[in-house]
Amino acid sequence: MSERLVSFETDGAIGIVTLRRPEKFNALDIPMLRALEAALDTAEAADGVRVVLLCGEGKGFCAGGDVEAWSQMSAADFQVQWVRYGHRVFDRLARLRQPTIAALSGHALGGGLELAAATDFRVAEAQVKLGLPETSIGVVPGWSGTQRAVRRFGAQTVRRMAIGGETFVAAEALALGIVDRVVDTGKAFIEAKAWAGKIAERGPLATEAAKLMIAVAEGEESAAATEALASGFIALTGDLKAGVDAFKAKQKPAFSRS
């Protein structure tokens, strides 16, 4: 993982993923996406981390995809290396086992809003603007701005941004359900961390299970989530132990439904 581009650190039960490309307002390119994916892998595997915060260094949260990074790609590379890979990374964030909170200390536009939409909660500072301006330069939202964003914010709200070209300030975004809390300038990380601390006090397994069940209802990852929940339940049973012990002993298992 590139510490220069994306960092991961812990503060007790809270994991903090920070985008570190402030000179570009944390715009995403392929190296940034790779570093973000690695940071998320580290966060999920970190013992004791119950909530993950996502934030950006400097004045911006994330300015979206770096136009200079994708504008010179061939159509094939744009489809596979940019859109499909970006989807994979954003799906990784959306499906993280821990609850996630985005601290929006700067604008979240285009891919930046799509990134924030992949978290469970969003805390925005009052000056922040949010939108999907891609069609203004002749492209379409490519990292689930017309899919996950519709599921989470509603089709009409996404139409207003992606087709109508509207950009919302934080207070408007709150009323539309795009963000969950609005705070004064400079307070997003503080508020997000305090919220994370309260979530971390709740039952960790129950919280993770609740997140998975909501993901199933939302259509985020129904197949994997259903199998994960069922497998977790089975792993606690005496039947599993009996089966594994019998397998190792090369005997027929005696299941007790316990």
Could you please report the per-residue DSSP string of 65-76?
B-HHHHTTS-HH
| pTM confidence score | 0.90
Residue 112 clears pLDDT 60, i.e. is over it: yes
Contacts of 8 (CB under 8 A, 6+ apart): 1, 15, 16, 17, 18, 39, 42, 43, 46
pLDDT value of residue 1: 41
Catalytic machinery residues = 114, 134
Torsional sign, CA 210, 212, 216, 217 = positive
| Average pLDDT of the chain, as a whole number | 90
- 200-241 pLDDT, tens digit each: 999 999 999 999 999 999 888 777 777 777 877 777 888 778
Phi, psi of 184 (to 5 degrees): -65, 160
Residues 164, 168: Cα–Cα separation, whole Å: 12
Q: Which residue has the higher pLDDT, 100 or 28?
A: 100
Residues 174, 95: Cα–Cα separation, whole Å: 23
Q: Is 199 helix (H, G, I), strand (E, B) or coil?
A: helix
